[in-house]
Structures are given as C-alpha cells and as structure tokens.
Amino acid sequence: MGVTIRSFILAALLTVVALCVYRISVILTPPVADDTLDRYPTFVSDGFYGENYTEDGRLTAVLNASHVEFFEKTGLITMVDPQGIWHDYSDSDDSTPQSWQLNARRGTYVIDRYATLDGNIVLTPLFEDPFVSRVTTTHLEYDLLAGEIFSESPVTIEGNNFINQGTGFNANLKTGVVTLKGEPHARYLPDTH
C-alpha cells in the first residue's frame, strides 16, 4: 500500500471521527437561544392592527401602530405611533362602554405589568358628556399592577368649563383621583350648559 493511499484512508478516517464528535457535541449541547431571544424580536410588524376581547366576546381594546416589535422572552412590546382605543364597561351597561382614545409617538409595554408612552400624548373620550374632554402630555408611565399612571412632564387636563395645568401628575385608577405635582394652574370658565 502506497503512502498516498494510506494518507487518503487516514484523512477519510479522521473526517469520519470529526463528524461523529461534531454530531455528539450538537446533541449534548443545544444551541444557545437566550442570546438570540434577548437581542432580536420574536415578531415584527409594520402597519399593525390588533383587537382584544374578553372571554365572553366583548371588545376591550383596539391598537394600531405603524411599527411593532415583540420580544417573547421578556414580554416587551415596542411601538411607533401607537393609537389605542380602550372600552370601559364598568360604569355603563354592557352594550355601551365608555371608550377612550390614546395617541402617542412611541410606546413600550411589558405585558400585564408596565407601559411607557412618549411624545405628543393625547387622551380623548369617545363618549357623550365626559367630565374630562382632553388630556395632553409628553411622557407618561402606567404601572398596571398598582393601577397608577404618572409623569414628571407638563400636563394639561381640559374639560367643558376648566383647564388644569401642572408639571407632573399621579392618577390612581382605583380611586379616580388625579393629583398635579408641581406648578398647578387652574382656570375655570362659566358653565355653558
């Protein structure tokens, strides 16, 4: 047997051994997906539209956004130009909810825990005769677990016969109390009704 044939057999044998070792290492060591799940979104959408319903089929929320990214591992959702409509059935009969529309430039949401909105935030009611007709600010945070919305940014709260402004606010959704933190300015107008 010549040197060339022995070299060829040895090379083939080493290739087979290398493939076996590689195959065993792949089986014993699964690929590290944690880095991929942390770094890259699970889901990306341009022109997102979504609806949320209760178990009995009532529409509770509608969300539109020009761009959405969802990170499954952390439950984080990032949004560009989010526009949401939320339907509140607690103070009305089952067929007519009190609906509110919320618009912003950017938003993040950690599922069932926390939300942050930034840039030209406008909250308006979509039902008749609301006490508050418009709320505007540039930044807000919503702690879903505590039921509180708060901000350190300037805020304007408008109603039929008032305009309240201040720097920073805290809104407790459980008690319905909104507190302006600093530089409050209130202007009340004659009732037009």
DSSP 85: E
Q: Which of 4-8, 23-27, 136-140 has the highest mean pLDDT?
A: 136-140
Residue linked to tokens 């007709």: 133
Exposure of 121 in the CB half-sphere (CA atoms within 13 A): 21
The DSSP element (H or E) to which 164 belongs, if any, is: strand 162-172
Q: Could you read off the pLDDT of 109-158 as tens digits, one per residue?
A: 998 899 999 999 999 999 888 888 999 999 999 998 888 999 999 999 99
Condensed to tens digits (0 to 9), the pLDDT of residues 146-168 reads 889 999 999 999 988 899 999 99
Given this model, what pLDDT does residue 165 score?
93
CB 166 within 8 Å of CB 151: no
> DSSP code of 139?
E
Residue type, 161: N
Residue 172: band (very low, low, confident or very high) from pLDDT cuts 50, 70, 90: confident
Q: Residue 123 has what pLDDT?
A: 92
pTM of the model: 0.74
**How much is the average pLDDT of 93-97?**
70
